[in-house]
Structure 1
Amino acid sequence: MSTPTDPGQGPFAPPYQVPSHPPQVSAPAQEAAPSPDGGTHPGSTPPVPGPAGQVHQTGREPRRILLAVAVPLMVVCLLAGLLLGVLGSPLLTTDRSAELPPTQVSPGPGGSAGADLDEDSVAAIAADVLPSTVYIEVAAGQQSGSGSGFVLREDGYIVTNQHVIAAARGNGGQITVVLADGSEVEAEVVGASMDYDLAVLKVDADGLRPLVLGDSDGLVVGEPVVAIGAPLGLEGTVTSGIVSALNRPVSIPDQAGSTFINAIQTDAAINPGNSGGPLVNAAGEVIGVNSAIASLATAGQAGSVGLGFAIPSSQVRRTSEQLIETGQATYPVIGALLDGSYTGEGVQVVTADDATDTPAITPGGPAEAAGLQPGDVIVAIDGDPVTNPDELIVRIRAHSPGDVVTLTVRDGDEDTDVPVTLGESESR
Structure 2
Amino acid sequence: MTSEHEPGRDEWRPWGGEAADRTEEIPAREEPSRDEPPREEPLWARLGGAEPTQPVPQQQPSPYAAAPSYGAPPPYGADPSYGTSPSYGSTPSYGAPVPEPTPHRRGPGWGALIGVAVAVALVAGLVGGIGGALLADRDASPTRGSTSLPSPGAGATTRPQGSIANIAATVTPSVVTLRVEGADGQGTGSGWVYDDKGHLVTNNHVVAGAAEGGEITVVLANGTQLPGKIVGRDASYDLAVVKVERTDLAPIALGASEDVVVGDQVIAVGAPLGLDSTVTSGIVSALNRPVTPGDEDDQSFINAIQTDAAINPGNSGGPLLDMQGRVIGVNSAIARAPGSGVSGQSGNIGVGFAIPSAQVRTTADQLIATGKAVHPVIGVYLDTQYDGEGVRIAEQGPDGAPALNPGGPAEKAGLRPGDVVLEFEGRPVADDGELIVAIRARAVGDEVTLTIRRGGSEQDVTMVLQGSGD
Q: TM-score, normalised by structure 2?
A: 0.64
Q: Which position in structure 2 is the counterpart of 1:208?
A: 249
Q: Can you list the C-alpha shifts for 1:11-34, whole angstroms capped at 9, x where unaligned?
A: xxxxxxxxxxxxxxxxxxxxxxxx
Q: How far 1:198 moved relative to its partner?
A: 0.5
Q: Bigger CA drift: 287-296 or 355-364?
A: 287-296
Given candidates 289, 297, 320, the residue that maps to 1:256 is 297
Secondary structure (helix, strand or coil) at the match of 2:282 reads strand
Tell me the distance in 2 between the aligned counterparts of 1:157 and 1:113. Answer: 26
Residue in 1 that maps onto 2:182: 140
2:342, 2:402 → 1: CA distance? 39
Which of 381, 406, 409 is matched with 1:337 structurally?
381
Note the C-alpha offset of 1:376. Answer: 0.7
Residues 123, 335 of structure 1: CA spacing in aligned structure 2 closer, same or farther, 3 A cutoff?
same
State the Cα distance separating 1:357 from its structure 2 match.
Answer: 1.6
| Amino acid aligned to 2:439 | I
Instruction: Tell me the distance in 2 between the aligned counterparts of 1:198 and 1:334.
Output: 22
CA distance in 2, matches of 1:251, 1:142: 22
The answer on 1:321 being equivalent to 2:368 is: no
Equivalent residues of 2:155, 2:169 under 8 A apart: no
Match of 1:194 in 2: 235
Tell me by how many angstroms 1:292 deviates: 3.0
Matching of residue 269 in structure 1 with residue 310 in structure 2: yes
Structure 1 residue 364 corresponds to structure 2 residue 407:
yes
Superposition misfits of 4+ residues, deviation over 6 angstroms: 112-115, 294-300
- Aligned-partner residue type, residue 420 of structure 1: M
Q: 1:426 to 1:269 in 2, by over 3 A?
A: farther
The range that moved more, 289-298 or 151-160, is 289-298
Note the C-alpha offset of 1:413. Answer: 4.5
8 A contact 1:251–1:260 mirrored in 2: yes
The residue number in structure 2 matching 1:307 is 351
Q: In 1, distance between residues paired with 2:264 and 2:412? A: 41
User: Who is 1:232 aligned against?
Assistant: 273
Larger RCO: Structure 1 or Structure 2 (Cα < 8 Å, ≥ 6 residues apart)? 1
Cα 1:163–1:293, aligned 2, differ >3 Å: closer, same or farther?
closer
Deviation at 1:344, TM superposition (A): 1.9
SS in 2 for 1:330: coil
The superposition leaves residues 38-81 of structure 1 with CA deviations (integer Å, 9 ceiling, x where unpaired) of xxxxxxxxxxxxxxxxxxxxxxxxxxxxxxxxxxxxxxxxxxxx
The offset of 1:115, in angstroms, is 7.0
Q: Taking structure 1 as reference, are residues 211 and 426 closer, same or farther at Cα in structure 2, changes over 3 Å only?
A: farther
Shift of 1:293: 4.6
The within-5 A match list for 1:24-423 is 116-141=158-183, 143-169=185-211, 171-254=212-295, 256-293=297-334, 302-351=346-395, 357-423=400-466
Give the distance between the partners of 2:342 and 2:361, measured in 1 at CA.
35
In structure 2, distance between residues paired with 1:315 and 1:383? 21
State the AA in 2 paired with 1:212: A
- Determine helix, strand or coil for the equivalent of 1:228: strand
Question: Using the alignment, how far apart are the partners of 1:385 and 1:142 within structure 2?
Answer: 40
In 1, the alpha carbon distance for the partners of 2:274 and 2:449 equals 44
Following superposition, the deviation at residue 256 of structure 1 comes to 3.1
Deviations 1:112-162 (A, max 9, x none): 989721212111110121011001111124611110000001110100001
Once the two structures are TM-superposed, the CA of residue 401 in structure 1 deviates from its matched residue by 1.4
Query: What's the offset of the Cα at 1:181?
Result: 2.1
More helix by share: 2
Deviation at 1:355, TM superposition (A): 6.8
Instruction: Give 1 or 2 for the bigger CA radius of gyration.
Output: 2
How much has 1:172 moved relative to structure 2?
1.1
Give the TM-score normalised by the residue count of structure 1: 0.70
Alignment CA distance shift 1:312-1:166 (3 Å): same
Structure with more strand by fraction:
1
How far 1:201 moved relative to its partner? 0.8
- In 1: Cα distance, 2:191 partner to 2:158 partner: 28
Question: Per-residue deviation at 1:224?
Answer: 0.4
Instruction: Say if 1:293 and 1:307, in contact at 8 Å, map to a contact too.
Output: no
1:356, CA displacement in angstroms? 5.1
Instruction: Indicate the SS of the match to 2:404.
Output: coil
Q: Is this contact kept in 2: 1:159–1:320, CA < 8 A?
A: yes
Report the alpha carbon displacement of residue 298 of structure 1 after superposing the two structures with TM.
Answer: 9.0
8 Å Cα contact 1:294-1:305 kept in structure 2: no
Q: AA paired with 1:163?
A: H
Task: Supply the distance in 2 between the matched residues of 1:280 and 1:224 (Cα, whole angstroms).
Answer: 9
Q: Note the C-alpha offset of 1:317.
A: 0.1
